[in-house]
Structure 1
């Protein structure tokens, strides 16, 4: 039987290379045998004794290499290993085997060197060439095995990262039953596997031979701690080696959990649960301390005072996670918030706020990531805890609450920074708008001052007209006085003056109708001249509250009314109601203006319709198209009127008929002559 390590190989544990003195001694003795003409067999026996030669040893080396290669390719093949197995590579197990292979390789190299020295001395010894070939082949196999195993992974120095240690200890605590499956033939040559098989058979009170002969399935049960103690009794100093071997056997289904038996009693289950918690608690504490060590170092920089007697980071292992972890989170986040509040105190630029917010976000994310790593570790060992997964339920709840708290406070502080930034921007905007309001107010005040000076002045034209009116009034009054005196003087003569007076009245009544009052014309002219100014002033002050883009073809809403595009979501309910009221007032104002324009449009359309009817000789108030019998709108519709029968048509209703027959559809008279102006050509009627 072979052992994975510490093989004696036919009592040939170590072969040393010949020293210089040993070579001289062998050479002298061989020369002595040669001078005595002894038989060749005696010489060969001497050489073999010096070489410690044994073909059985080389055969055992070869067998060891072969079985070891089979074991590694079958049970430690990285392609069939889990992620953890491929990373860890079973450091202690592989390291000891690698040490054994290197020891054999060293023996083979020394053996080869000794043979070559003997060959140089004897200048013959062809019988040793076969041994050299075998040694060379074995060295090649040892190199292949070393490359297969080397490097044996990285030694894990922390218990919480040693998954095999966790798996072993948790299974020892759980005290579940396992059953041994059929051992593969590849493993039967290893003494430690045979010893384990014999031990399991013995605790089941079943001889090994009976197990092989019995056709009925026999379940070989054992508790996990039993095989652990079995290996520890063999060599406690190598328990890590045996622990990894146990995991290899379990991982390759050499034995498995036996699920048919339930727990014996509730008290035992409660005790196991408590033991598992007691095992996991220190590991989680150590994990937190190691993972958050870099953040603990920041506490002094963040000026967080440990005034709370319930928390002491130096004695973290002795405290409950449910108390310690939330306080760590609270202390760290409070420290960050205090630090960044100081940073943003004197910041005025928006870009600086963004930079501070991003840095804070990065710090919190890094801290939360390490907390999540601890939580992932807790979740990772749940697969080992079955059927006691509820052991970690309280821990998961703690981490869930802590993660939620970090997420909430992170968002609250980012919102705070954003609010401060927005407020700073609002202050800047308010200052800018206030300065512009002051500019406009000053412009309006100057406008009022300048315009009032002009308005107070009398227009030169008005003064001159007033003088002319006074002059002509005096002259006309003089003439009227002469007529009056003359007529008055004739009263006594009893002259019939009625017709003369009537002549005066008729003359000037007719003259009044013929005359256009010049003052009215002047007023109209003044109104026309000042209308553009009045309109401009009206537009200026009517739209002064509207914030619009300074373009002639602006077609959108003013900025202060189009808030839904950029600001509405940020308004309070009161501000939204206020803005809706402003828009309603604007709509009412526009509706009033629209009504006035519509009334004016209706009057103009009525006048236009009357003129068209008068021009075309139509006397009816409502005129229908003779073809479609629909009412004709003389303002909007294009029409044709027959000069013979007076029928009026929509142009589109008779266009095809006219193009084909060139006559009125009703009276059949041809009337399409050039320049007859039968078609409506005025642009208003198209």
Structure 2
């Protein structure tokens, strides 16, 4: 399916068409003066214009040959470059013009070698059918490049013809002569564009990691698979090169004697020897024949024993390992493999590289906000996951090329699954860690600000006690000043409560921050503070007796009403209700519920593990529980409530001797293995401790998989 259209030079076509097409020509004198024609030509056309304002083109041709006999062809080329210098007209009447137009069309067909040229759209249409019949993809870069060259040659012919037509358009008095040719080029271009577009959708260059056609042929040689040769589809017989390769395959692979089947090693080397320089193109065509079932796997295949099957599978893996290693190095440039790649090299280096990539992500996000840290980390993990997906795609493609008879790279598939699961687990652990760090940091800031306010309360109480005592030691006439001090202290207390309320609201709006422990500390402080105030009021009452009774009653009423719920905006509202942000939208409430459900699910997942660990902790604690009777009470370092040594079970830290309720410390030790106050370890690292990350990393770097699994 080839066509060559020899076209004469453009100026020759122009000259022949005007010479034999019954045209008259006139020179535009104003253009002649401005043109850059040679002086001899300017003089010639100037004299010609004075004698003959219009002249038949054959007469002009005769005069030029007489005036410039040696350089007439050069003169034609020079005149062709000045289309605006001349004006052409038909000779004769309307009837003679019509005949002249038909004569021009016939002449142009002869000049354009129309008998061959007009076949281009039909050949292109047939070629488009061949392209559609072939199972092309980006895996056939050499074949696609070959087919594209064919289309580009036809496109070059059309471009040359269009150039001729557009050039002639400037010299002819009417476009009707060229109209059928322009219509032909338009329809032909449409077909050729469809061919080019279809081929370019497959064009992607050679696959540097796995050349499908070459790999398929090589693996058939390893497997020793046998084939039958079926009939070539009729449409492919019209493509000369494809038909030639098919005939050669048929001749070289013809069974001899009783042998009715053949294998690729029987004829592929001979085929490549007969068509040197086109080895890759031949390999792709042979693979195309297989995909189109022109090469059909024979029913009679050689029987393979189990040792032979294992040997073939290992040979296939060894053949494909370098391709796989090349892809791994491309995805993870930090990995280097020896010249001969082994299974152990892959098992050792790939998980290590993925773990290093993940740890680099954790380090690189250290100077960002928590939200940016999580976003950057998740994005990095997604990129690593996509790289593992690319490796999985390689395995799928390899298995597709091998076929269903042999299952290869099972151990690599398991390794990929393990690495993806590990990445997902590490991602969850890192996000939880970042959120916990943020929660603890925010809680610390809140507690610090509340401590500043409570410190001011302590100073205010001390000032109140001192000034009240001094004033009362003076005369009773200063009772009003004492009352003023009470009101001043009330105002200080109200301001402190309002400030703490604002802080807790501010921090409580963030759903990741648990402010309940801070509220608990505040309640404990207020309880102690109330005792101090009551003690102060009792002293005043004793000193002033009935004389200061109105003041003392006012002070006692104020102190009796001190409660933690003064932080709440309304009576009867619980702390949990108060911490819930008001006016949440339906979507926000759903989001909050989903967040709580997720946390509850995480707690459920940890429950079984923690219960088992708790049993071990309780066995350890059983040897440290003490019952003290000498000291009556103390404060628990976990819940901050009173420990009754005579009745309660408690535990003391062996380092700082601080005490805690048995259940409180058991709850604490489910999450930590150190003292609440001094940080000393309660448990030895070997007993019920969580596995270290380094140990996990070591296991990840050396997963144990058998090739036979």
If the length of structure 1 is used for normalisation, what is the TM-score? 0.49
Q: TM-score, normalised by structure 2?
A: 0.48
